[in-house]
Amino acid sequence: MWHNHVESILATDHETGVKMFEKSSSIIKDPSRFDSNYVPKNLVSRDAQMHELETLFRPLVDYDRPCNAFLMGSVGTGKTATARRFCDDMKAFLNGKGTPIDIIYVNCRNSNSENSVLLNLIRFFDQGYPDRGFSTEDMARVFKNHLLKNKRPLVIILDEVDVLLKKNTVDIIYQITRLSDEVNKPAPVSLILVAQVSVYEMMDQASLSTFKRTTLVKFDRYNYDELKQIVKERAEEALYPGRISDDAIDQIAESSDDYGDARMAVELLERSAIIAEGMTDGEITVENVREAKASIYSMVSESKIRSLDLNKKLILLAVARAMKQNVVIPLSSAEKTYAVVCEEYDVPARKHTQFWSHVQGLEKVSLVRTKVSSDGNGRSTLISLPDIPSKVLAKKLEEILDEEMGSGDSDEMRSVQLRGGHVHQVQRDAPVP
Ligand SMILES: Nc1ncnc2c1ncn2[C@@H]1O[C@H](COP(=O)(O)OP(=O)(O)O)[C@@H](O)[C@H]1O
Ligand SMILES: [Mg+2]
């Protein structure tokens, strides 16, 4: 539904006055670049893995020998993307040499039984094969017959294979790797296994003997710079030029940095773009990114904010107000805004040491993040809001504070008036980095 960006179709029914599809997309150029099975041409920082795969698959390319590989790494480290990119590239390369191969991709989370995997394999050759009524042995035989007829080398990617192997009863790995060794030899069948955890322990001896540990290709989590590059390149592919601010790219990279997870980064980019589409800024802002993140993870529960003591609530409100469209602000400007907030709520402002220890308390519960920066002007502490749109957070805090501190109309009026009176001050304090 999100991908319903219709090219400038302006449909006004003059009879009824009904307007539809009025607004065409001004930010997202090609939504298909966000699809989960889209694989970018260039994979950031995965040259080493691509090269290892090349080495592992050289026997297939040079001598028609079956090859195996096991890709391991945590979620969003590009395992699936790399497996598919590598296979697509290898297929194109071999096509160019006049020796075509076939690739079958199976996600074992969706096909989590031996029969279901076999069904996928058979349907590659025979789309009408019925989905029930045949034993595993029947299906294995049917698959092998297809291989004997087909003659093309085949590469099977079993993604999220740990889900399948956990079931323990499965010897499909052995069956598949053994196919090529038999006398009645079909074309070579290679296997690429993909999982978050090591699967060697889950394999039986027979599979292990064919699937050696030397086939392991490891995927590390991405660092901040790599995530930034991934977001940048995807934005160039999916968005019209100049539709995302550098700060917003930084914020997406920062938000996904804790996990080193490119999936989260790409998903945040997509959601931010969809949110920005509905605004008038004409580009994706930091605030859109915060909202996107809040909408995905809603890590900010109201109860978490409510459970803060009064000082922390006031400090968090000050940070939210001072933040505005910025990714990070100096702690000192949050402290200035804090003084204003305290005045507004008629609470004595805490001294710097206490202020700082409350900020650390807020960081412990992941409501703010701080880091020390050192530049030409010496060291200073910066503060950021990792998850929450500052506007949303400020509004929520104001509601909660008004509820807790003011009762009755006159108090309500007072805080509203004071807040109105301080608008200028708050804006002046908000730094522009
Ligand atoms: N190195 C990379 N360069 C560009 N995009 C990447 C890279 N690694 C991952 N991605 C993108 O991040 C998302 C998640 O990657 P994926 O391969 O599904 O991770 P995994 O399979 O390890 O969980 C996909 O949209 C993918 O295209
Ligand atoms: Mg994957």
- Check residue 417 and give its pLDDT: 33
Of 18-27, 185-194, 292-301, the range with the highest mean pLDDT is 185-194
Tell me the pLDDT tens digit for each residue of 246-298: 999 999 999 888 778 898 899 999 999 999 998 888 899 999 999 998 877 65
Task: Please answer whether residues 46 and 26 qualify as being in contact, where contact means their C-beta atoms are separated by less than 8 angstroms.
Answer: no
**Closest ligand 1 atom to Cα of 265:** 12
Ligand lying closest to the C-alpha of residue 161: 2
In angstroms, the CA 75 to CA 85 distance is: 17
Ligand 2: distance of its center to the CA of 123 in Å? 22
Pocket mutation for ligand 1, best pick of 36, 74, 80 (most atoms within 8 Å of C-beta): 80
Ligand 1: distance of its center to the CA of 293 in Å? 18
Q: Does pLDDT of 378 surpass 90?
A: no
> Sorting pLDDT into bands at 50, 70 and 90, what band is 20?
low
Ligand 1: distance of its center to the CA of 265 in Å? 9
Query: How large is the average pLDDT for residues 305-320?
Result: 93
The environment of the single-atom ion ligand 2, i.e. residues with CB closer than 5 A, is 80
Ligand 2: distance of its center to the CA of 136 in Å? 26
- Could you give all domains of the chain from N- to C-terminal order, each with its CATH number? 47-219 (3.40.50.300), 223-297 (1.10.8.60), 302-429 (1.10.10.10)
Helix (H) / strand (E) element for 246: namely: helix 246-257
Pocket mutation for ligand 1, best pick of 263, 264, 267 (most atoms within 8 Å of C-beta): 263
> Sorting pLDDT into bands at 50, 70 and 90, what band is 403?
confident
Ligand lying closest to the C-alpha of residue 42: 1
**Closest C-alpha among 284, 291, 220, 279 to residue 255:** 291
Pocket mutation for ligand 1, best pick of 266, 268, 269, 270 (most atoms within 8 Å of C-beta): 266
In angstroms, the CA 405 to CA 279 distance is: 34
The phi, psi pair for 35, rounded to 5°, reads -60, 150
What's the mean per-residue pLDDT of the chain? 83
**219 bridge partner residues:** 73
The tokens describing 403, both together, are 């509820």
DSSP state for residue 32 in the 8-state scheme: G
The tokens describing 53, both together, are 């795969």
Ordered strands of the 328-330 beta sheet: 328-330, 378-384, 369-375
Q: Is 260 in the pocket of ligand 1 (CB under 6 A)?
A: no
Ligand 1: distance of its center to the CA of 33 in Å? 12
DSSP state for residue 284 in the 8-state scheme: B
**Closest C-alpha among 301, 295, 299 to residue 271:** 295
The tokens describing 339, both together, are 């003084």
- Check residue 182 and give its pLDDT: 60
Mind spelling out the 3-state secondary structure of 292-313? HHHHHHCCCCHHHHHCCCHHHH
* DSSP symbols for 85-122: HHHHHHHHHHHHTT---EEEEEETTTS-SHHHHHHHHH
Q: Is 227 in the pocket of ligand 1 (CB under 6 A)?
A: no
Ligand 1: distance of its center to the CA of 187 in Å? 31
What pTM, to 2 d.p., does this model score? 0.69
Provide the CB-side half-sphere exposure for 272 (13 A, CA): 36
User: Quick check: helix, strand or coil at residue 372?
Assistant: strand
Q: Does pLDDT of 6 surpass 50?
A: no
User: Quick check: helix, strand or coil at residue 203?
Assistant: coil
